[in-house]
Amino acid sequence: MVIVMGPEATQDDVAAIVAVVQAAGVEAFVSRGVRRTIVGLVGDVAQLDQGNLRGMAGVRDVMRVSTPYKLVSRENHPERSTVHVGGVPIGPDTVTLIAGPCAVETPQQTLAAALMAKRAGATLLRGGAYKPRTSPYAFQGLGEAGLRILADVREETGLPIVTEVVDAHDVELVASYADMLQVGTRNAQNFALLQAVGAAGKPVMLKRGMNATIEEWLMAAEYIAQRGNLDIVLCERGIRTFETATRNTLDVSAVPVAQRLSHLPVIIDPSHSGGRRDLVLPLTRAAIAVGADGVIIDVHPAPETALCDGPQALVDSDLDVLADVLHTFPPLLGRAPAVAAVAP
């Protein structure tokens, strides 16, 4: 941490800072210039409150220089991690396709979507039984009935399932069905939920909050990690900006940035970020090209009847192109092509 004193700061102001800092067992190095004094802090600064230091007399600015997350940081864990979900790897050597319907509606629709996913090369099935919806009048998901449908479809297709949980107290139930728990963008700072999924013993996919900086996203992951769970996959899904042509603005730069700061795998959701079917394939190509460790994509057998986010779902006629992208792009980045594990 670095404390910058204002030009008006007195020697006593500096001495007061040094006293507070040293009382916390941290070393203080004072650099006194003609117009300005800088105090560099070295040691375990985690216990010093940056804000309170900023409130002391003569202080102009307080700057943090170390990361506020430890367990997910790459500083202490230089190798990038691979997370396994029902035996399927997500990590630096592969490009994993997770696909399926936005929401589980019926057994038929879910199975049809799962078979579509498989055809495109997916090795994991996505599908929501609990849906967080901005409008209270929108379809909220089937709940446990949806989880049972997902389990049946897993049985039939062999695809492990990824599904969202929206309430800390549903975690145990959802974890009893799911192979991976998803925390959505609206819950990216629902700390009770983060702690609950951290304790559930299942891999977690953590979507970036639509207003979260990359640093805040990693701090959210740290909440999960603190409960002993490091099987976390980060998912970039677009941030909120002034642009309205797309639902959110996909921040592809966040992938290499997060991969450099954290050892966790990072994937991209090209369906929810753009919110438009015609953008899904271009953004999928961009995702793989920028170095994402996987993509998660909505598919639907009949999107015009979908109860949720129909217009962004890929349809039958898109699948061969998607399969081709997943076959041809990853090798250019030294990764294995995504291939469907086994036929249904």
Span 238-297, contacts to a copy of itself by CB under 8 A: 239-246, 249-257, 260, 273-274, 277-279, 282-283, 285-291
Q: Which of 54, 108, 176, 201 binds a copy of itself (CB under 8 A)?
A: 54
Closest approach of a copy of itself to the CB of residue 240, in Å: 5
d(CA 161, CA 177): 8
DSSP 83-148: EEETTEEESTTB-EEEEE-SB---HHHHHHHHHHHHHHT-SEEE-BSS---SSTTS----THHHHH
Nearer to a copy of itself, 177 or 223 (CB): 223
Residue 177: strand pairing partners: none
Closest CA to 203 of 248, 163, 168: 163
For residue 185 the two structure tokens come to: 């963008």
Closest approach of a copy of itself to the CB of residue 109, in Å: 14
Determine how β-strand 37-42 pairs with β-strand 27-32.
antiparallel
Closest approach of a copy of itself to the CB of residue 119, in Å: 21
Count, residues near a copy of itself per rule CB under 8 A: 102
| 165 Cβ contact list (under 8 Å, min separation 6) | 130, 171, 174, 175, 178, 181, 182, 183, 193, 197
Touching a copy of itself, residues 165-194 (CB under 8 A): 166-169, 186-187, 189-193
C-alpha radius of gyration, the chain, whole number: 23
Closest approach of a copy of itself to the CB of residue 210, in Å: 6
d(CA 225, CA 213): 18
Q: Running DSSP on this structure, what letter comes out for residue 263?
A: S
Closest approach of a copy of itself to the CB of residue 175, in Å: 16
Q: Does residue 61 bind a copy of itself (CB under 8 A)?
A: yes
Return the biggest CA–CA distance within the chain. Answer: 76
Touching a copy of itself, residues 108-167 (CB under 8 A): 132-137, 166-167
d(CA 245, CA 232): 31
Closest approach of a copy of itself to the CB of residue 2, in Å: 5
Q: Running DSSP on this structure, what letter comes out for residue 337?
A: P
Nearer to a copy of itself, 244 or 342 (CB): 244
Nearer to a copy of itself, 106 or 169 (CB): 169
d(CA 231, CA 233): 7
Touching a copy of itself, residues 21-50 (CB under 8 A): 27, 29, 31-36, 38, 40, 42-43, 46, 49
Closest approach of a copy of itself to the CB of residue 41, in Å: 8
Q: Which of 105, 179, 298, 309 binds a copy of itself (CB under 8 A)?
A: 309
d(CA 118, CA 302): 17
Touching a copy of itself, residues 75-114 (CB under 8 A): 75
Mask 196-235, x = binds a copy of itself (CB under 8 A)?
-------------xxx-xxxx--x--xx--x---------
Q: Which of 23, 79, 155, 304 binds a copy of itself (CB under 8 A)?
A: 304
- Ramachandran angles phi, psi of 8, nearest 5°: -85, -5
Closest approach of a copy of itself to the CB of residue 15, in Å: 15
Nearer to a copy of itself, 66 or 106 (CB): 66
- Ramachandran angles phi, psi of 266, nearest 5°: -130, 125
